[in-house]
Chain A
Amino acid sequence: MRWIRPSLAVVATALLATSCSAGAGTTTSAGPGAAAKDASPLTAALGTEKESAGPAPAVAGARAGGTVNVYNTTDFRHLDPQKVYAGAAYNTSLLWGRQLTQYQVVDGKAKLVGDLATDTGTASDDGRTWTFRLKEGVAWEDGQPITSQQVKYGIERSFGKGYEVGPPYWPQWLTGEASYDDARKKYGGPQDGDLDAIATPDDRTLVFHFPQPQADVPYMAAQSSSSPVRKDKDTGTDYDRLPFATGPYRIVEHVQNTRLVLERNPHWKAETDPIRSQYPEKFVFTFGKEALNINQEILSGRDGGADATTVATQLSPELYQTVDTDPKAKDLVVSGRQGAFVTYLMVNNERVTDPEVRKALNLAYPRQQARQVLGGSRAGELASTLSSPALVDWQKYDLNPARPEGDPDAAKAVLAKAAQPPASLTYAYANTPNGQRVAQVLVDGFAKAGITLVPKPVDPKALLDEAHRADSPYDLWEETSSVDWPTPSTLIPFSFDGRANSDLNSARYHNGQVDKEIDRINQIGEPRAKAKELYALEQTVMKDLPVLPFAYPNVNQLRGSNVGGAFVHPIYGSVSLAWLYLKA
């Protein structure tokens, strides 16, 4: 489960919305993002071996050559594949890094296929053993072949000191420990020698042995931590600045927080890669520009702005009117759902213990007005579920129907039944313009139902720390979070397990029955069967209404007029560079 900090969360939900779909801006009729207008649920289902073979589906009308400029306000926090753990960095690192599996995107829909591996892995022993076989012809940027031992070495690194920033799953699963700290006591990284849980019988075969059944191995194999690393190229801390490439591009220069330059990797072979393309000659990233400058430069099209895009900068509110009134500008907006992120009004269940009070809050919640101040309907779709529509086999449900604009009278009636209606509730919010606007809407809306909200502005960076602290004084706050991959496996078992600390179970939800169910379901090794059970468990949790779903947020970004193939990646939730091309 990963969170985005409220400053980002606010950005993400505060976006202008345009009528563009994910594929807007592309003039082609086919290609990865072209048909994303289709609102049917995404199926990040598993692809076959045939679908895992390269090359990637051709992007109609794409042209090879040229330099794409990428403007971001800040550099990526990490480039070391075992440290990368955030949407935009995952998405961008596809350019130089390859994993065991990866998402192939066709018509705006993601399908998990083999990337370095020939398929998405084969399970045996009820999901306790997983076998991957590497493709022939996959190579490093110096032409040396990628071996199974190098993939294993990469995974071993993620146990090491300094890699806490990455996902905890490989260490936990491979040691069978529930806690990441305990896992690392069993094996502390490459300096502890060979990790027995992964066998490499030959240069192309990897066999993972897990103490417990693991259903989500194919998805974890797509995470950046499942990238190979070569021992002779492992520069330790500096690998975070300059990793060695396996993808279609290699890094030729990286001045931190200033510039990152990528050139074509001559040893990448399209026929081995079902996901990425290699149209532009170069990518030049410039970091350190302000969001408004980035947006204006791309809109103006001058001095390289026409060939530019951004992967992390949202459309500035100052330009809402421009893109609303100027069709040419509007055409440059790329919009789409922000991956699997969901925004919730969080409730501290140890402080708001009465379910009737939470029900009353849900009924009074002025969701529509709160979204209006963030840019209206296109800032995102109002949510009724804990899980995101981006998940495999997701189905919409609404166990606690409430009017979008809030129903003060119904809320009052429910509140009257509460054993101890609260005198007031403390609402902590990120002290940003958007945070303030939403706080005002909530204070007004809940007041109509007789619920007094005491708003507490908090430093945006500190909000989650403050709200997650064991002795946090806050009853309510807003939070945007995402599962780690598009199955429900990292949702309920992480965030609603009563035994987890308040860093993970920030709602402080305690339901012994749910905890037992989590343990039972975690023993299921078959991905779809496990997902089905978890969706059922999600509804059990939602009957208690521990948190109030608010929205499935959208992102809105700009691309230059000469940039083709820009769309929001359905899983990573930012503009993907692996399919971009320059039109002229």
Chain B
Amino acid sequence: MLSFALRRILQALAVLAAVSAAAFALFYAAPADPARAACGPRCDTGQVAAVRASMGLDQPLLTQYTDYLTGIVAGRDIQDVDGSTLHCDAPCLGYSYRLHQPVTEALVDHLPVTVSLAAGALAFLVVFGLGTGFVAALRHGTRTDRLLSGFTLIGASVQIYFLGYVAQWGLVYTTGLLPLPSYTPPATDPAAWAGGMLLPWIVLGFVNSAVFARLSRSQLLETMDEEYVRTARGKGLGRLRAHLKYTARGAAGPLVQLLGLEAGALLGGAVITETVFGLNGVGRFATEAVEGQDLPAVVGAVLLAACFVVLFVALADLVIAWLDPRIRLG
């Protein structure tokens, strides 16, 4: 188990290193000049050169990259465009010259919105996806099964930028059934928080639950036919108890895997959902960073997203190993 865990950690670090290097190289190669973006359109060539120097962009790419990695581990001193030196604490994901703020700090400002969105959407996804999948599997071949399968197919085929706008039009602006999508810190006003996030949760959860529902249905159906489940039933265990105790556990592996990936991806910033509902989370932060040619912010957001994916995939692996001891040996 220890070597399994060590292997996973090394793999995760390798993935993160590769992602950070790729993000760094990619945006360095972009046609836009981050120094000009930081300096503003009025700056002449001399001024841009001065800003470039204070941003360290005149250094070799490798030096910039190693400085960056050092900052993540140990923090580092950074020079702002006015020549003042600031200390950026570890984990330092660089300094945004556009915002005049350490990237880590800026990401932390936007993270609560994204965490709220992801948590609620995942909860909806699990309850709704697993629920429809379970019912469809139990009612396999009936009208209910076909109805539920058709319904989830809608989720799989519509896009958030379509459903999001239609839902806002129908449920918010026309009928007023739901509050305007917005983020209020839950500590300030829990009711406003839940109210404002309700529609984004439902839409994001519904769209993502389609795959989950279909996968859970087929997994459950497959596991229901396993001999150990039939044995349990044969020994007199009730239908529901047998399925909850044996079928669900046996079918959980791929579902947990999918959930881990989904959680990682959502926490990295649901760019489209945040855009459609006007939520100012990590996804929107990343979009703006790209538009503003804010190189350190872009790299920071990419790394954060990668971290979440790696972390949650690893967590999912651990959960699966706990559910199914055969995995650990493999």
Which of B100, B168, B180 counts the most A-chain CB atoms under 10 A from its CB? B100
Q: Is the beta-carbon distance between B291 and A461 smaller than 8 angstroms?
A: yes
In the complex, B106 has a CB within 8 A of chain A: yes
Given A180-B44, A257-B280, A296-B173, CB of A237 within 8 Å of CB of B84: yes
**Distance, CA A85 to CA B42, complexed state (A):** 9
**Distance, CA A240 to CA B99, complexed state (A):** 9
Q: Is the beta-carbon distance between A501 and B106 smaller than 8 angstroms?
A: no
In the complex, B81 has a CB within 8 A of chain A: yes
Residues of A within 8 A of B275 (CB): 290
Interface residues on B, range: 35 or more
In the complex, B142 has a CB within 8 A of chain A: no
In the complex, B90 has a CB within 8 A of chain A: no
**Distance, CA A468 to CA B198, complexed state (A):** 48
Q: Is the beta-carbon distance between B40 and A461 smaller than 8 angstroms?
A: no
Of B41, B100, B109, B280, which contacts A5 at CB under 8 A? B41
Q: Is the beta-carbon distance between B45 and A461 smaller than 8 angstroms?
A: no
Given A237-B80, A461-B291, CB of A164 within 8 Å of CB of B86: no
Which chain A residues numbered 504 to 527 have a C-beta less than 8 Å away from chain B?
504
In the complex, A186 has a CB within 8 A of chain B: no
Which chain B residues numbered 28 to 45 have a C-beta less than 8 Å away from chain A?
31-33, 36-37, 39-45
In the complex, A256 has a CB within 8 A of chain B: yes
Q: Is the beta-carbon distance between B82 and A160 smaller than 8 angstroms?
A: yes
Q: Tell me which of B46-54, B56-64, B201-209 binds A.
A: B46-54
Q: Is the beta-carbon distance between B81 and A162 smaller than 8 angstroms?
A: yes
Q: Is the beta-carbon distance between A164 and B47 smaller than 8 angstroms?
A: yes
Residues of B within 8 A of A271 (CB): none
How many chain A residues have a CB neighbour from B under 8 Å? Answer: 49
In the complex, A317 has a CB within 8 A of chain B: no
Residues of A within 8 A of B293 (CB): 461
Which chain B residues numbered 258 to 314 have a C-beta less than 8 Å away from chain A?
275-280, 284-285, 288, 291, 293
Q: Is the beta-carbon distance between B100 and A303 smaller than 8 angstroms?
A: no
Q: Is the beta-carbon distance between B106 and A256 smaller than 8 angstroms?
A: yes
Q: Is the beta-carbon distance between A163 and B101 smaller than 8 angstroms?
A: no
Residues of B within 8 A of A464 (CB): 41
Of the A-B pairs whose beta carbons lie under 8 Å apart in the complex, a sample of 6, sorted by A's number, is: A162-B80, A167-B42, A237-B80, A288-B280, A290-B278, A302-B172
B residues with a Cβ closer than 8 A to A are 31-33, 36-37, 39-47, 50-51, 54, 80-84, 86, 98-101, 106, 109-110, 168, 172-173, 176, 179-182, 275-280, 284-285, 288, 291, 293
A residues with a Cβ closer than 8 A to B are 1-5, 74-75, 77, 85, 160-165, 167-168, 180-181, 236-238, 240-241, 255-258, 286-290, 293-294, 296-297, 300, 302-303, 305, 459, 461-462, 464-465, 501, 503-504
**Assuming A160-B82, A258-B280, A461-B37, what are 11 further A-B pairs, CB within 8 angstroms?**
A3-B42, A5-B41, A85-B42, A164-B39, A164-B40, A164-B50, A165-B40, A180-B44, A258-B110, A293-B277, A294-B278
